[in-house]
Structure 1
Amino acid sequence: MFSELTMPKFNYRIVFLAVALAILVFRFHAPSQPSSLPEPSMPPDMQIVQTLLKQGADINAKTKQGATPLHFAAQHGNITLARLLIENGADIHAVYQDHWTPLHLAVQEGHEDLVKLLLEQGARPNNQKNEFSPLHMAAQHNHLNIAHTLITYSANIDATTVNGWTPLHLSSQEGHGQMAHLLINHGAHISSQNALGLTPLHSAAQFGHINVIRILLDHGADTSIRDHDGFTPESLATDLKHNEASRLLREHNTKKTDQKRHYWT
């Protein structure tokens, strides 16, 4: 599996402590006993938050990894807190662990309303570097409505990670047929190769995802492309003993060859 796919989860104790220090506690001193803090599952009291913000609590305080209170609100789907933070100047572009924004976290967890709020407030649907974009995340986790929203806000359909993985690669690898359809219908490059030479069809064949293979073939995916190890999608499926996928690709290739012969006779 592609190592870039897994985004680290927050250590909830650390994150809640950061939020407590940034919002629920006065900025001059934290409590001496962490155990005196509320449990992480308890929702912040909005009145307390508002009061402390008025008294100068640092709305953009960060953990060592860069997590802010808005990251916390985004991951937990707390749209009321997120809206309050944004209205009071929270940085919607703040990055956690070098590149995860609040939008990434809202997308990962499937919080549609929060995704819309962040985009409406100017969150960038595209990364500034070749990193895992919000659309990559929606494609991987099969959040169809969120993917559509991101595309509406001009998310790059063919955004690539540093290793050349596109959202279509990820939806194909995970077997998400409807997501693959959505991306293709919005212009995704169907035979894009990543740093390993894999196309989305290779990705689907590698895991035997018949539903995605059919979709890609129906939209003209090139079955002759070889990856850097010399495998075509068919030979890759055969090598990995995905027999049904191998048969489907073989039949498609045979049919295409017969059509070419018929054309020239």
Structure 2
Amino acid sequence: MELGSHGVKMEDLHEYAELLHQSNDEGAKRMISRVSGILEATDDAGRSTPHFAAVGGCLPILQFSISQDKSAADRPDAMGWTPLMIAASAGRLEIVRHLLSLPDVDVNHRNLNLLTPLHYACSKNHALIAHMLLEAGGDVNASDKYGATPLHRAASQGHDRVRSFLHGHFFKTLRERNLEKLLRLFVACEEGRDDAAIALVAKGADPLLENKVNGWKKCTVQLLLML
């Protein structure tokens, strides 16, 4: 008889994992009551209840497990997969939503291949989950060990909806990060400091973004023509 962690028979643990993979929470509850230690037990891949529940979208058992051990919410398996990463890949929206509400869950956690939950959501065309991850601070520019970003993943799979969404988020983020440079660019243009304006554009300030000048919306290219 092969025993796993917490003295749980591997046969029981595999049965329990399969119940959670199928989102059979009633069957899983019966096993939790019957098999001591199974809630905390890990299999040979380093996965435990939150990982199993994330696969099948079994929210009640995932919540119960985390209520008993808060650190389990973000605990990686042997390959670095967290419950959030698994849920993002499997398209388990409610699991993702719950995990993102927890303070200790890292939205940008990377596994051994340097992939994040956002990589998997984009690769599997889970647009709403990708949106949730981005709203929670997911890094659209995160690169895996091959240099691929979530956008690369979406494009390589032909997921046009996700790709378009990521493009929009990328440029929105770029504009927000660019705000200080943009304001400095307008000042440089208004003051006729050509060298400073050129240097700011070279560093990423967008000359086509608009600002209000004397009540009129003008981009810096238009502003230069007015000088």
Is the TM-score greater than 0.5?
Answer: yes
Give the superposed CA RMSD.
2.8
2:173 maps to 1:173: no
Alpha-carbon spacing, 1:154–1:117, altered in 2? closer, same or farther (3 Å): farther
Question: 1:163 is aligned with what amino acid?
Answer: M
- Counterpart in 2 of 1:146? 61
2:141 maps to 1:224: yes
Tell me how far 1:110 sits from its aligned partner. Answer: 3.5
Q: Is the 8 A contact 1:130 1:160 kept in 2?
A: no
Paired with 2:88 and 2:142, the residues of 1 have a C-alpha distance of 16
Helix, strand or coil: the match of 1:234? Answer: helix
- Choose which of 25, 47, 61 in structure 2 pairs with 1:112: 25
Higher helix share: 2
Alpha-carbon spacing, 1:175–1:124, altered in 2? closer, same or farther (3 Å): same
Which one has the largest radius of gyration? 2
**Does 146-155 or 200-209 show the bigger shift?**
146-155
2:40 maps to 1:123: no
Paired with 2:3 and 2:156, the residues of 1 have a C-alpha distance of 43
- Choose which of 197, 204, 207 in structure 1 pairs with 2:124: 207
- Choose which of 139, 163, 168 in structure 2 pairs with 1:251: 168
Tell me how far 1:119 sits from its aligned partner. Answer: 4.4
Paired with 1:232 and 1:195, the residues of 2 have a C-alpha distance of 15
**1:133-184 deviation per Cα after TM superposition (whole angstroms, max 9, x unaligned):** 1211100101111211111121601122211111111110111111101111
- Counterpart in 2 of 1:198? 115
Question: 1:95 is aligned with what amino acid?
Answer: K
Paired with 2:133 and 2:10, the residues of 1 have a C-alpha distance of 35
Q: Is the 8 A contact 1:119 1:153 kept in 2?
A: no
Q: Is the 8 A contact 1:191 1:222 kept in 2?
A: yes
Q: TM-score, normalised by structure 1?
A: 0.59
Where structure 2 has 5 or more consecutive residues not aligned to the other structure, the ranges are: 184-227
Question: 1:249 is aligned with what amino acid?
Answer: L
Alpha-carbon spacing, 1:95–1:210, altered in 2? closer, same or farther (3 Å): same
Q: TM-score, normalised by structure 2?
A: 0.68
Tell me how far 1:114 sits from its aligned partner. Answer: 4.8
Q: How many residues align?
A: 178
Paired with 2:23 and 2:163, the residues of 1 have a C-alpha distance of 34
- Counterpart in 2 of 1:95? 9
Paired with 1:170 and 1:245, the residues of 2 have a C-alpha distance of 19
- Give me the identity figure in percent: 21
